[in-house]
Amino acid sequence: MLFTVPEIHYALTPLFSALFFLYAETHYSFKGIYSRLKKPEPEIIVDAPHRLEPGHELPLLLLIKDAHTYPIQLHRVIVEKFYPEAHETQEFEIEREGIDSRFWHRLFSVSLRRDFEGVLPLDVTIQYSVNGVAKQARNDNYARTSHAPLEVVVASQALPKTAGWHFGEFHCHTSFTDDQVEFGAPLAATRQLARVMGLNFFCATDHSYDLDDDPHNYLKKDPLLRKWQALWQEVGALNADNSGFVIVPGEEVSAGNHKNRNVHFLILNNPTFLPGDGDGAERWFRTRPTASIESVLQRSNSNSAAFAAHPLISPPLLERMLVRRGKWEAPDFEHPGLHGLQIWNGSDAGFEEGKRAWINLLLNGRRIFISAGNDAHGNFNRYRQIGFPFLTMQENHHQVFGRVRTAVFVDQQLTLDSLLMAIRNGRMVVTDGPFLDLRIISHDGQTGRPGDTLSGQTLQFDCVCQSSAEFGELQSFKIYAGCFKTKEESLLRNIEAFPAPFLHKDSFVEAKLQPGYVRAELYTERDGQRFKCLTNPVWFNI
Ligand SMILES: [Zn+2]
Ligand SMILES: [Zn+2]
């Protein structure tokens, strides 16, 4: 068969985009290849937070996509709650609401038994009709997913932390991504689901090559950058209600590394749009990076923050070959404007490699920080993705919004400015459960937390290690001292026995520290599953 170049481009675009998954968009099919997932119906998806902090009702998010092409009437939403002893049903009557917009969503507030704690499976049945024909879907209407129940951890205790710390999702995608195979959740709904998980902020970091699309046609660029403007307007309006929750406007910029391969770069709170579409697969055979890491940093203003996104995760072979994807490498971290590395990206992939690269930078005298996010693509409970090529749907529990978290220390009111200031100064720890407050007091009475610098050789350490039944008992607590002279880290403290299972306070004096830094790690375990918290460093004697 003969293809013209534009046809090849058009036909293969979803192939590339399928590599970056959000909620799966199933209406796009290869030209000439029958998509077994395609149905003459809009996509219908129910989502819920994977975890519910005490004191909140459970919000269920119902998303209906592409009803402008496939209009439906919505009749009823039925939630079945599978408590261990019995199940309960809650119905939401919708009065045959006609839905014919491109993107429709609503939050339903589900009431739970007050005394219940633990994992609650939920089945959500959506009753609707298409051209008068009654239909129903369970949890989603995809053709080849499990339709398995959603599972919500109903927590009996709040996320462990001490005063002044705020949890957040550092890397996620929202409804500002909407193309051939993927779409995310709206900002306001994302905020509501994030809040009930126990978070205080999230960074909206959609891809640069999605944020500059024409709002009505994702295959065209918009010279007016209307999506970018809309992002800032919506974030501004949501943050203005001073609800104690902050949305950080940002983007995941595709930039060129030192080998001129496309890597991802989180730029937070920079009002000027920074283009980058080398790996957006929007221009066939044109995969050269739009701008280098250096030039992206030069164009970021002083109120923004710049973090290497999932820097040491190897892109799949297909992405390396087709869209010139690469990894961050040693020379790429040298740029002085780089604040940090988002080494934790929802799973263990690339974590140890990222940690090693970070420690190497620290030992060479760099003030550089780590952060954690999930790169979640709309998935709050379960990860649904389109398999390759459009024949199966895959689901797993990786890269779920809010599962690994960055905690930021802000001891004043939490605002976009105070949060960004703390992020730029590295006042952060990363965790998927336990919490570690590393506090050090110098001989002149100054208190240092991660990101701070203290003077003097005699330092009083005051550490709090915290966990809960949800994240398991304390297993080990380690403080590492990094020495600039020997360029080595040594173990300053190693505790592996704890008198109480979930809370440990450790105070001691250290008198002979060499110029360098200290950082700490805490590990817990529950039913064979390990959880951890890593702090950023406190520097001294520099
Ligand atoms: Zn990325
Ligand atoms: Zn991402």
Ligand nearest to the CA of 375: 2
Instruction: State the chain's mean pLDDT as an integer.
Output: 89
**Interval between CA 473 and ligand 1 midpoint (Å):** 33
Specify the residue for token string 């869209």: 323
**Interval between CA 330 and ligand 1 midpoint (Å):** 18
**Interval between CA 347 and ligand 1 midpoint (Å):** 14
Mean predicted confidence (pLDDT) in 215-225: 90
Mean predicted confidence (pLDDT) in 128-150: 89
What tens digit of pLDDT does each residue of 265-320 get?
A: 999 999 999 999 888 876 666 788 889 999 999 999 999 999 999 999 988 888 78
**Interval between CA 527 and ligand 1 midpoint (Å):** 32
Ligand nearest to the CA of 309: 1
- Per cent of the chain over pLDDT 70 is 88
Mean predicted confidence (pLDDT) in 382-401: 57
What tens digit of pLDDT does each residue of 34-91 get?
A: 454 567 899 899 999 999 999 999 999 999 998 999 999 999 999 999 999 999 999 9
**Interval between CA 252 and ligand 2 midpoint (Å):** 6
Mean predicted confidence (pLDDT) in 400-407: 96
The full DSSP string for 400-428 is -TTSSEEEEE--S---HHHHHHHHHTT-E
**Interval between CA 371 and ligand 2 midpoint (Å):** 14
As a whole number of angstroms, the distance between CA 196 and CA 203 comes to 16
pLDDT value, residue 513: 83
Are 435 and 477 contacting, i.e. CB atoms less than 8 angstroms apart? no
**Interval between CA 185 and ligand 2 midpoint (Å):** 14
Considering the entire predicted model, what is its pTM? 0.91
**Interval between CA 264 and ligand 1 midpoint (Å):** 5
**Interval between CA 1 and ligand 2 midpoint (Å):** 36
What tens digit of pLDDT does each residue of 330-382 get?
A: 999 999 999 999 999 999 999 999 999 999 999 999 999 999 999 988 788 87
Model confidence at 11, in pLDDT bands (50, 70, 90)? very low
Model confidence at 96, in pLDDT bands (50, 70, 90)? confident
As a whole number of angstroms, the distance between CA 260 and CA 384 comes to 32
**Interval between CA 205 and ligand 2 midpoint (Å):** 7
What are the angstrom distances between the C-alpha of 126 and each of 80, 287, 400, 480? 11, 42, 23, 53
**Interval between CA 317 and ligand 1 midpoint (Å):** 15
Largest CA distance in the chain: 79
When comparing pLDDT for 439 and 386, which is higher?
Answer: 439
The helix (run of H) or strand (run of E) holding residue 14 is: helix 5-17
Is the four-CA dihedral 295, 296, 302, 308 of positive or negative sign?
A: negative
Residue 460 has pLDDT above 90, yes or no: yes
Model confidence at 522, in pLDDT bands (50, 70, 90)? very high
